[in-house]
Amino acid sequence: MNGFIFKIICLGLLLLVAGTTKVSAQHLKFLIPDNAIVQFAGSIGYFSVGAGYDLFKNKRGILDFNYGYVPASKGGELNIVTAKFAYKAYEVKLRDWGKLYPFNPGFFLSYTFHPELSYRFNRNRYSSDYYRWSEALRPHLSIATEIEFNGDKLMKGSGIKAVSLYTEFNTNDYYLINYIQNTSSLTLADIFQLGIGLRVKF
Amino acid sequence: MFLVPALITVMGLMSCNNFEYSPNQVFDKNSYKDINAGNLKRLGDGRKDDTVRFILSGDTQRSRDETIRFTKKANEIPGIDFVVVAGDITEYGVLQEMEWISRSLSKLKAPYVAVIGNHDLTSRGREAFMNMFGPLNYSFVYGGVKFVCHDTNSREHKFNGEAPNIPWLKAELQAQEGVNNYIAISHVPPNSADFDPKLIADYTATFAAVPGFLASLHAHTHRYELFYPDNSGIPYFVTSAMGNEEFLLIEIINHKLSFERIHF
């Protein structure tokens, strides 16, 4: 299993390198990420790193791919890959030095690699209606707030367009079901989990 | 429009403990530890207690609101020595559910113990349970009665012949000083298709061979049931689920067991 993860990571890195060295054909240019991400917590790793893309003409769509790791000392050991989609519903200009995106609702899928987590329960032992969920694949809902600092103002000539900080709350199918069925004993603060991240646009 | 970030900030301040690394992490810095051992220490050995009175409940799973009402009802009943939650304390076997249920059950005046259920063994539930509650097979003595709590979730152990662990049960059920009676507690009853069919005869025979064995207690089916799988006369009880707002109140006086179904 670890070998498999290693291969995926290598493949991802190769794609990134191939993309950024510009030796690849022009039509592969869309593969080059628009930003790099480091995130702490947020249910997808103790730390995770990723590559992000700006979507749509107005560049307010967010598509992120993250790889996260939880060490055994933090309740792991887990390897997690995540694909996130979000939309910056509002944009607030902050003079000439930055922008605030106060409300970015989103959706993401995480897949956790661990010997005790299966994509699907073994159908030889469990009929299809025994346990209906996937242990490894988790759908999440998210709400993020992001503040972006203009790169030219921040560090002239660095080639960095912008640096942004975000906080992201997420919940998942497990927690939502628990919440919806038990609204008097659980609160939204119980089911929404927090992550914070740094995004560098280049 | 600025209400939204304000709201998010407030949520953030409320939830400084909400930095989750994964729903599948098996502990976090706020997790409870060894709840069963701590509660049993509080319970004591009941050497001077001639009336052992306890509650058998189970399958709290997604029934959190009902669990809160359950704790209120249990707290109204006089003389409860302890409460047993006989498995499926969670639906998805994740840490967060175990933390939530412990938070609700901590409202009980009497100490409680949790027994492992099949749902608690999905995902990484086994490790999370062991961290938070303790071993899957354990026993304690109260008021001269030995309670033998164990894992009968054979399906989750791939019917490998080791759940229930019969040699362990036999060792636990050996005659012991200060113990007159025995009670077995586990999640899956032996009349369920989730119980290893190869072990049923050995399991019931093991109990039948123990002098002073009073009853075998279970949950899992979400339906109250009292059955006698062999001619030993030993009753096997199944309690209804927390979600059905019912539990069993069990009393042992003078080596005799009596019970009552209680709705709340």
> Complex ipTM, two decimals?
0.89
Q: Cβ contacts of residue A132 below 8 Å, gap of 6+? A: none
- CB count within 10 Å of CB B202 equals 14
What one-letter code names the amino acid at B235?
P
Q: Closest partner residue to A116 among B4, B68, B124, by Cβ? A: B124
Of B8, B22, B97, B221, which to mutate for an interface test with A (greatest number of A Cβ within 10 Å)? B22
Asked whether the predicted pLDDT for residue A134 surpasses 80, the reply is: yes
User: What per-residue confidence (pLDDT) applies to B255?
Assistant: 94
Q: What is the mean pLDDT of residues A72-77?
A: 94
Q: Do B124 and A172 touch (CB under 8 A)?
A: no
CB A43 within 8 A of CB A172: yes
CATH hierarchy code of domain A33-201: 2.40.160
Tracing tokens 């109140």 back to the chain, one arrives at: B249
Return the minimum-mean-pLDDT range out of A11-15, A87-91, B28-32, B46-50. Answer: A11-15
- Which sequence spans correspond to the domains of chain A? 1-32, 33-201
Shortest alpha-carbon distance between residue A51 and chain B (Å): 19
Alpha-carbon gap, residue B246 to B260, rounded angstroms: 10
Please give chain B's pLDDT, 264 residues, in tens.
555 556 656 555 555 568 999 999 999 988 899 999 999 999 999 998 999 999 999 999 999 899 999 999 999 999 999 999 999 999 999 999 999 999 999 999 999 999 999 999 999 999 999 999 999 999 999 999 999 999 999 999 999 999 999 999 999 999 999 999 999 999 999 999 999 999 999 999 999 999 999 999 999 999 999 999 999 999 999 999 999 999 999 999 999 999 999 999
Which pTM was predicted?
A: 0.89
Q: Of A79, A165, A179, A182, which to mutate for an interface test with B (greatest number of B Cβ within 10 Å)?
A: A182
Sheet strands side by side (includes B181-186): B138-142, B145-150, B181-186, B213-218, B236-238, B225-227
Domains of chain B: 52-258 (3.60.21.10)
Burial of B140-168, coded b for 16+ CB within 10 Å and e otherwise, reads bbbbbbbbbbbbbbbbbbebeeebbbbee
Rounded to whole angstroms, the Cα distance separating B191 from B59 reads 17
Q: Which amino acid is at A166?
A: Y
pLDDT at A36 over 60: yes
Residues 6+ apart with CB under 8 A from A11: none
pLDDT at A4: 53
Do A172 and A138 meet the contact criterion of CB atoms below 8 Å apart? yes
> From CA B187, how far away is CA B237, in angstroms rounded?
11
Judged by CB atoms closer than 8 Å, whether chains meet at A181 and B92 is answered as no
Interatomic CA distance for residues A59 and A54, integer angstroms: 5
Contacts of residue A189 in chain B, CB cutoff 8 Å?
Answer: 11, 14-15, 18
Closest CA to B49 of B211, B236, B178, B183: B178
Asked whether the predicted pLDDT for residue A51 surpasses 90, the reply is yes
Chain A to chain B, count of Cβ pairs less than 8 Å apart?
Answer: 136
Are A182 and B64 in contact (CB < 8 Å)? yes
Tokens of B37: 């051992």
Q: With 80 as the cut, is the pLDDT of residue A29 above it?
A: no
Q: Residues A6-24: what's their mean pLDDT?
A: 55
Higher pLDDT among residues B199 and A14, named by residue: B199
pLDDT at residue A1, as a whole number: 44
List chain B residues with CB under 8 Å of A77.
Answer: none
How many angstroms separate the CA of residue B187 from the nearest CA in chain A? 16
Rounded-to-integer distance, Cα B215 and Cα B199, Å: 18
Which residue in the set A112, A177, A190 is minimally distant from B62, CB to CB?
A: A177
Chain B nearest CA to A192, separation (Å): 7
Return the pLDDT at A156: 77
Once rounded to an integer, what is the mean pLDDT over residues A135-157? 90
Cβ of B192 under 8 Å from any chain A Cβ? no
Choice between A79 and A13, residue whose per-residue pLDDT is larger: A79
Residue of B nearest to A48 (CA): B21
Q: Who among A114, A186, A189 is closest to B14 (CB)?
A: A189
